[in-house]
Amino acid sequence: MSQDTELSHFLKDVHWLMDILQNIDVGLVVLDQNYEISLWNQFMQNHSGKAPEIVLNQTLFSVFPELSEDWFRRKAEPAFILKSATFTTWEQRPYLFHFPHYRPITGTARFMYQNTTIIPLMNTNGQVSHICLIVYDVTDSAMNKLAQIEANNRLEGLSRIDHLTQLYNRGYWEQCLEKEFKRFDRYQIPASLIMFDIDHFKSVNDTYGHIAGDDVIRMVSATLRSQLRDTDLAGRYGGEEFGVVLTNTDTAGAVELTERLRKQIENQMVVFGEQEIKITVSLGICELNETIDSYQQWLESADKALYYCKEHGRNQSYSLPQTP
């Protein structure tokens, strides 16, 4: 083969490669050690609206002032120093370059989510003289994943919440109780448990019917919710029985809450048709201590305190163990 044809083959290959680089549906940017742009492909040009003649030989940070220089250097330096590829994903930072989303019909995002890979480019001496930044448009998969996360969160919420009271249901609340118990085991952070129920609830149901009974439960749970701090975990344990886990709270703190709750419920009434229903609650408290060795036992102790109230006239709170 003559040198001429060899050269023309070579040129043809290069021409093809250049065509591919230009038309490939990913962004390609080559940067030198000063972060000056040496290559800017069609994808970058089209999405940024900046032509190569404007960006070439400019630093990346002067062309895109919104790109944090510190952040980007931290990603790119390992490629220079370690000669290995580094990656950024949309989950850490949604995009490197703010490219508005361009599809009016099927596009649901406001901007292009991007994953990027930074690969080292070696010169003939085996030194990394440049790096290549590869920008992938991952908008569709990011949107799908975000939608999936949202759906999962919603399902998780649905499976945790009791419909009538909007408190946690028994299953999830017991998990919280167990977690809190284990936390105490490990870190000795004080925690108290309240178990309470509505006094003579059966007679409310028998006298006014179950719909009125539901209204009463709703009133009690709404009052409870209004009294909770963010860290308190309240659940509906049974029909008219409720449980509240108070993190970082000793007996005195728990009694403060139960008394406030008790008085508030005592002073309210549920209007049902012509009827005005007044109810009271009894509340048992148990602060966690070393002698309790399972969350079930913790629950039992609080229940015992609740039964003490029942046996001593109801409409009161009582805590176990009693401090001398």
Partner 1 sequence: MTASLLNEDQRDCLQEIANVAMGQSADRLARLLDVFVVLSIPNVSVLTPNDVAMTLNSLQALDGHEQQLTGVCQGFIGDGIAGEALLIFNGTDYRDLAQLLKYDNNAENRSEILMDTTNVLGGACLHSLAQQLDTHFSLGSPTLLGEHYDIPDLLNKREVTWKNALVVEINYTIEDHRVNCDLLLVISENCIDGLLEKLNYLLD
The smaller minimum CB distance to partner 1, of residues 136 and 272, is found at 136
CA–CA gap between residue 30 and residue 15 (Å, rounded): 18
Q: Least distance in Å: CB of 86 to partner 1?
A: 4
Q: How far is the CB of 83 from partner 1 (least distance, A)?
A: 7
Smallest separation (angstroms) from partner 1 to the CB of 125: 17
Q: Are 293 and 286 in contact (CB under 8 A)?
A: no
79/198 with CB nearer partner 1: 79
Helix axes 201-208, 210-227, angle to 10 degrees: 140
The nearer residue to partner 1, 81 or 164, going by C-beta atoms, is: 81
Closer residue to partner 1 (CB): 66 or 187: 187
Q: Pairing mode, if any, of strands 317-320 and 275-277?
A: unpaired
* Beta carbon of residue 136, minimum distance to partner 1 (angstroms, whole number): 8
User: In this complex, which beta carbon is closest to partner 1, that of residue 35 or of residue 136?
Assistant: 136
Residue 296 tokens read as 């079930």
Between 145 and 310, whose beta carbon lies closer to partner 1?
145
Which one, 141 or 203, has the nearer CB to partner 1? 141
Close Cβ partners of 244 (under 8 Å, ≥ 6 residues apart): 193, 194, 196, 224, 228, 232, 233, 234, 235, 257
C-alpha span between 280 and 283 (Å, rounded): 10
- At closest approach, how far in Å is the CB of 294 from partner 1? 16
Minimum Å distance from CB 93 to partner 1? 7
Amino acid identity for residue 32 in this structure: D
Q: Is-contact 116 88, C-beta < 8 A?
A: yes
- The residues binding partner 1 (CB under 8 A) are 74-75, 77-78, 81-89, 91-93, 115, 117, 145, 149, 179, 182, 186
The least CB distance from residue 72 to partner 1, in Å, is 12
User: Cα-Cα-Cα-Cα dihedral of 72, 74, 79, 83, to 10°?
Assistant: 170
CB 217 within 8 A of CB 164: yes
Distance CA 28, CA 21 (A): 8
